[in-house]
């Protein structure tokens, strides 16, 4: 019994958490058993089927930013409980527990980094924190990330991963969609590029706001992307959903993604996109800003 | 007075109203002097109405917001707008009948008015998809708002939706993208925008036409990130019928006009006739028209750049966090 448990336990825990940290990990998609170090070398992508394991915010920082370094901003922002919301546990308690579990204050980490030598405003969401849900803190931090782009005239890159707006903050969560969208209208007017990177999953309120507003939108393969939840759609239309529905490939097929980009190519792709949109030298404006239209 | 369908908690009021009507008829038919009895009952009715409608629970307000007799957007347009011309289509895919709109005059001033249309009869409900827009509905709304923007006409939006439609085609045509684009592009409009929630304001489905310089709510309307039923389905997912928990979820979500005014999210609550908008649609329309004229008047006095700046600042500041 002892050997059986030892062997089995990490598997169960890993599939649940989806973050491989044991020696051997079983692929959630094809069942392949992969050695931990190999999986790490392959950026947590299954060598057999290409399944992208969900990874944490710090792994994306390492993966995307020069020297794996981010100068973090607004790290102390913490949720309050505007509705005094209570389900099985109070919202305050839920936040406290998630903070203890993840080492994060909320579901996004933002700051300034460099990619391909160019300074960018960067944000990365983390699903481990209450399903990457967007409440006031996520909204505020995205807003400030956009403002850093505006102030310094540097491109914006957001790695999205979220189940949507955070129900426990009610209308305040919904209004974060408005807040981020309104600020992105300023970014658009200033012609500062914004690259949205969608990872598994990016759904509901986040998809219906900043995740869908990138000048260029790319996604990791086989991510779940969409607006309404599959359960709700199934109930509404009373039928099963087609294979591959609401995946990255589905989004690409229907014209809502610029590209599906495997994890190993993300850094290069984002770096090139920024170069193409900003010109080869630093400073967005001298090189990028198109001449004002003649009137 | 009100005939037809009514809610459980309205029942005693409706029954007493009926009794008074019957007594009046009886008195006139039989030529009897029942003035005193009738007056007593009317007094009782007045008190009963006050008791029933002055302290509604959140769930009762939501039921009023969804009342089968509640006026729909088209009825208000009819009552408020003169010389209305309906305009159709998103110029890309279709004309979404859950989103109606067009140009007309409010007190001689040209406006664009948009509304999410639920429909009253079964046939209408099906035609208008119960007020649940597809992406083309949001795109149609944005197309018309851009039209208003180009020609300097203010925009009025009547919001009433149980949610953006959750279906395969809606996802295929980019429901999320349509809503996101609207949020961003409504922020950039240079004309006054007044949004009024006349019934239900369910989540992104409402917000997709919900970015305004002023956001108003009728007294018995709701607006939140999720419907009480949706919230209950998540919180009580092990419950055999989570929908029974919707009243509790409604309390937790605090989605009423009164809640949102207290949170500072909306600008004004427009009073409803006692018992709800359906008890007197004409009176309700008058209240709405008066409020729209006031807000549009104030906003029209602002230069476009300042209007936009204020709108941005208003949304920029919404949030509740510690630092
Ligand atoms: Zn695999």
Mean predicted confidence (pLDDT) in A257-281: 92
Put simply, the answer to whether B184 touches A184 (Cβ < 8 Å) is yes
Chain B residues closer than 8 Å to A136 by CB:
319-321
Closest CA in chain A for residue B187 = A182
pLDDT score, position A217: 98
Dihedral over Cα of A168, A174, A177, A182: its sign? negative
Rounded to the nearest whole angstrom, what is the distance from the C-alpha of residue A224 to the centroid of ligand 1? Answer: 16
Chain B residues closer than 8 Å to A228 by CB:
164, 166-167, 170-171, 175
Put simply, the answer to whether B265 touches A208 (Cβ < 8 Å) is no
pLDDT score, position A1: 31
Please provide the average confidence, as pLDDT, over all residues in chain A. 89
Chain B residues closer than 8 Å to A169 by CB:
225, 320
Closest CA in chain B for residue A228 = B166
Chain A residues closer than 8 Å to B225 by CB:
165-167, 169-171, 173-174, 205
User: Which of A153, A79, A166, A158 has its CA nearest to residue A111?
Assistant: A158
Chain A residues closer than 8 Å to B252 by CB:
83, 85-87
Rounded to the nearest whole angstrom, what is the distance from the C-alpha of residue A31 to the centroid of ligand 1? Answer: 6
How does residue A9 score in pLDDT terms, banded at 50, 70 and 90? very low
User: Which of A140, A123, A115, A95 has its CA nearest to residue A211?
Assistant: A123
Rounded to the nearest whole angstrom, what is the distance from the C-alpha of residue A1 to the centroid of ligand 1? Answer: 28
pLDDT score, position A6: 35
Mean predicted confidence (pLDDT) in A228-250: 92
What's the pLDDT tens digit per position in B156-174? 999 999 999 999 999 999 9
Closest CA in chain B for residue A212 = B177
Q: How big is the CA angle at B112 (ends B109 and B118), to the nearest 5 degrees?
A: 130
Put simply, the answer to whether A213 touches B180 (Cβ < 8 Å) is yes
Please provide the average confidence, as pLDDT, over all residues in chain B. 95
pLDDT score, position B28: 86
Residue B45: both structure tokens together: 């009715």
> Which residue among A87, A137, A241 sits closest to B168, beta carbon to beta carbon?
A241
Locus of tokens 């019994």: A1
Chain B residues closer than 8 Å to A234 by CB:
none
pTM: 0.93
Q: Which residue of A160, A167, A250 to mutate against B (max B Cβ within 10 Å)?
A: A167
The DSSP 8-state label assigned to residue A293 in this structure reads: P
> Which residue among A137, A177, A255 sits closest to B207, beta carbon to beta carbon?
A177
pLDDT score, position A11: 34
- Is the pLDDT confidence value at B4 over 70? no
pLDDT score, position B17: 93
Put simply, the answer to whether A205 touches B203 (Cβ < 8 Å) is yes
> Which residue among A143, A172, A189 sits closest to B316, beta carbon to beta carbon?
A143
Put simply, the answer to whether A171 touches B255 (Cβ < 8 Å) is yes
Mean predicted confidence (pLDDT) in B21-42: 88
Mean predicted confidence (pLDDT) in B142-146: 98
Rounded to the nearest whole angstrom, what is the distance from the C-alpha of residue A52 to the centroid of ligand 1? Answer: 8
CATH number assigned to the domain with residue range A54-285, chosen from the 4 options 3.30.70.2080, 3.90.226.10, 2.40.50.140, 2.40.128.20 = 3.90.226.10
pLDDT score, position B162: 97
Reported ipTM: the value is: 0.96
How does residue B32 score in pLDDT terms, banded at 50, 70 and 90? confident
pLDDT score, position A175: 98
Q: Which residue of A212, A229, A242, A243 to mutate against B (max B Cβ within 10 Å)?
A: A212
- Is the pLDDT confidence value at A19 over 90? no
Put simply, the answer to whether B166 touches A227 (Cβ < 8 Å) is yes
Rounded to the nearest whole angstrom, what is the distance from the C-alpha of residue B309 to the centroid of ligand 1? Answer: 50
- Is the pLDDT confidence value at B191 over 90? yes
Angle (deg, nearest 10), helices A136-152 and A170-189? 10
> Which residue among B168, B207, B226 sits closest to A233, beta carbon to beta carbon?
B168
Put simply, the answer to whether A232 touches B265 (Cβ < 8 Å) is no
- Is the pLDDT confidence value at B49 over 50? yes
- Is the pLDDT confidence value at A8 over 50? no
pLDDT score, position A246: 96
- Is the pLDDT confidence value at A249 over 90? yes
Buried b (16+ CB within 10 A) or exposed e, B84-104: beebeebeeeeebbbbbbbbb
Chain A residues closer than 8 Å to B188 by CB:
185, 188-189
- Is the pLDDT confidence value at A18 over 60? no
How does residue B29 score in pLDDT terms, banded at 50, 70 and 90? confident
Closest CA in chain B for residue A168 = B253
Mean predicted confidence (pLDDT) in A2-6: 35
> Which residue among B234, B252, B259 sits closest to A85, beta carbon to beta carbon?
B252
pLDDT score, position A236: 86
Rounded to the nearest whole angstrom, what is the distance from the C-alpha of residue A33 to the centroid of ligand 1? Answer: 8
Put simply, the answer to whether B225 touches A236 (Cβ < 8 Å) is no
How does residue A292 score in pLDDT terms, banded at 50, 70 and 90? low
What's the pLDDT tens digit per position in A54-75? 999 999 999 999 999 999 999 9
pLDDT score, position A117: 94
- The set of residues, in sequence order, having a beta carbon less than 8 Å from that of B242 and lying 6+ positions away, is B229, B232, B233, B235, B236
Radius of gyration of chain A (CA): 20
Euclidean distance between the first and the last CA atom of chain B, given in angstroms as a whole number: 55
Dihedral over Cα of A203, A209, A213, A214: its sign? negative
- Is the pLDDT confidence value at B273 over 70? yes
What's the pLDDT tens digit per position in A167-200? 999 999 999 999 999 999 999 999 999 999 999 9
> Which residue among B164, B318, B323 sits closest to A175, beta carbon to beta carbon?
B318
Closest CA in chain A for residue B167 = A233
Rounded to the nearest whole angstrom, what is the distance from the C-alpha of residue A47 to the centroid of ligand 1? Answer: 7
Q: Count other C-beta atoms under 10 Å from residue A54's C-beta.
A: 21
pLDDT score, position B67: 96
Centroid of chain to Cα B222: 8
How does residue B255 score in pLDDT terms, banded at 50, 70 and 90? very high
What's the pLDDT tens digit per position in A86-145? 878 899 999 999 999 999 999 999 999 999 999 999 999 999 999 999 999 999 999 999
User: Which of B285, B272, B270 has its CA nearest to residue B107?
Assistant: B285
Mean predicted confidence (pLDDT) in B71-82: 98
pLDDT score, position B30: 83
Closest CA in chain B for residue A204 = B176
How does residue B44 score in pLDDT terms, banded at 50, 70 and 90? very high
Q: How far is B210 from chain A (nearest CA, A)?
A: 9
Secondary structure string (H, E, C) spanning chain B? CCCCCCCHHHHHHHHHHHHHHHHHHHHHHHCCCCHHHHHHHHHHHHHHHHHHHHCCCHHHHHHHHCCCCCCCHHHHHHHHCEEEEECCCCCCCCCCCCEEEEEEEECCEEEEEEEECCCCCHHHHHHCHHHCCCHHHHHHHHHHHHHHHHCCCCEEEEEEECCCCCCHHHHHCCHHHHHHHHHHHHHCCCCCEEEEEEEEEEHHHHHCCCCCCEEEEECCCEEECCCHHHHHHHHCCCCCCHHHHHHHHHHHHCCEHHHHHHCCCCCEEECCCCCCHHHCHHHHHHHHHHHHHHHHHHHHCCCHHHHHHHHHHHHHCCCCEEC
């Amino acid at each position: 019994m002892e050997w059986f448990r030892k062997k089995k336990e990490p598997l169960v825990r890993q599939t649940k958490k989806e973050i491989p940290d044991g020696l051997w990990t079983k692929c959630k998609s094809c069942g392949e058993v992969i050695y931990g170090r190999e999986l790490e070398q392959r950026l947590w992508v299954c060598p057999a089927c290409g399944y992208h394991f969900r990874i944490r915010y710090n792994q994306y920082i390492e993966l995307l930013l020069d020297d794996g370094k981010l100068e973090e901003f607004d790290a102390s922002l913490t949720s309050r409980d505007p509705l005094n919301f209570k389900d099985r546990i109070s919202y305050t308690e839920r936040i406290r527990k998630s903070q203890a579990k993840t080492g994060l204050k909320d579901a996004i980490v933002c700051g300034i980094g460099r990619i391909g030598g160019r300074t960018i405003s960067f944000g990365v969401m983390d699903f481990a924190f209450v399903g990457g849900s967007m409440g006031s803190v996520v909204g505020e931090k995205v807003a400030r990330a956009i403002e850093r782009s505006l102030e310094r005239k540097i491109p914006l890159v957001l790695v999205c991963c979220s189940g949507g707006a955070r129900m426990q903050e009610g209308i305040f969560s919904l209004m974060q969609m408005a807040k981020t969208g309104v600020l992105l209208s300023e970014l658009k007017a200033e012609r500062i590029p914004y690259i949205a990177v969608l990872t598994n999953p990016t759904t509901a309120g986040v998809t219906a706001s900043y995740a869908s507003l990138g000048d260029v939108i790319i996604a990791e393969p086989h991510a779940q992307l969409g607006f309404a939840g599959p359960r709700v759609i199934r109930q509404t239309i009373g039928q099963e959903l087609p294979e591959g529905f609401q995946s990255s490939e589905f989004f690409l097929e229907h014209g809502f993604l610029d590209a599906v980009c495997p994890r190993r190519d993300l850094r290069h792709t984002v770096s090139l996109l920024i170069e193409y949109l900003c010109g080869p030298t630093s400073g967005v404006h001298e090189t990028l800003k198109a001449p004002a239209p003649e009137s | 007075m009100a005939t037809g369908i009514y809610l459980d908690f309205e029942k005693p009021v409706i029954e007493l109203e009926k009794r008074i009507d019957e007594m009046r008829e009886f008195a006139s038919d039989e030529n009897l002097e029942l003035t005193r009895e009738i007056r007593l009952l009317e007094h009782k009715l007045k008190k009963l109405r006050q008791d029933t409608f002055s302290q509604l629970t959140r769930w009762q307000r939501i039921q009023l917001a969804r009342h089968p007799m509640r006026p729909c957007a088209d009825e208000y347009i009819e009552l408020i707008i003169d010389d209305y011309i309906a305009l159709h289509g998103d110029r890309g895919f279709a004309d979404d009948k859950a989103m109606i709109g067009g140009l007309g005059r409010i007190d001689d001033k040209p406006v664009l008015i948009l509304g999410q249309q639920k429909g009253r009869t079964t046939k209408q409900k099906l035609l208008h998809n119960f007020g649940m827009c597809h992406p083309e509905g949001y795109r149609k709304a944005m197309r018309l708002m851009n039209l208003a923007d180009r020609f300097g006409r203010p925009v009025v939006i009547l919001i009433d939706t149980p949610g953006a439609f959750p279906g395969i085609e809606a996802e295929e045509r980019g429901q999320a993208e349509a809503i996101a684009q609207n949020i961003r592009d409504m922020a950039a409009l240079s004309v006054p925008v007044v949004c009024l929630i006349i019934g239900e304001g369910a989540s992104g489905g409402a917000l997709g036409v919900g970015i305004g310089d002023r956001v108003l709510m009728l007294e018995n309307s709701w607006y939140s990130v999720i419907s009480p039923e949706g919230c209950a389905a998540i919180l009580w997912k092990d419950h055999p019928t989570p929908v029974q928990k919707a009243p509790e979820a409604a309390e937790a979500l605090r989605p009423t006009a009164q809640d949102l005014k207290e949170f500072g999210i909306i600008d004004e609550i427009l009073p409803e006739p006692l018992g709800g908008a359906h008890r007197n649609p004409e009176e309700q329309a008058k209240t709405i028209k008066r409020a729209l004229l006031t807000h549009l008047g104030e906003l029209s006095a602002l230069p476009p750049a300042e209007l936009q700046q204020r709108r941005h600042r208003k949304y920029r500041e919404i949030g509740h966090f510690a630092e």
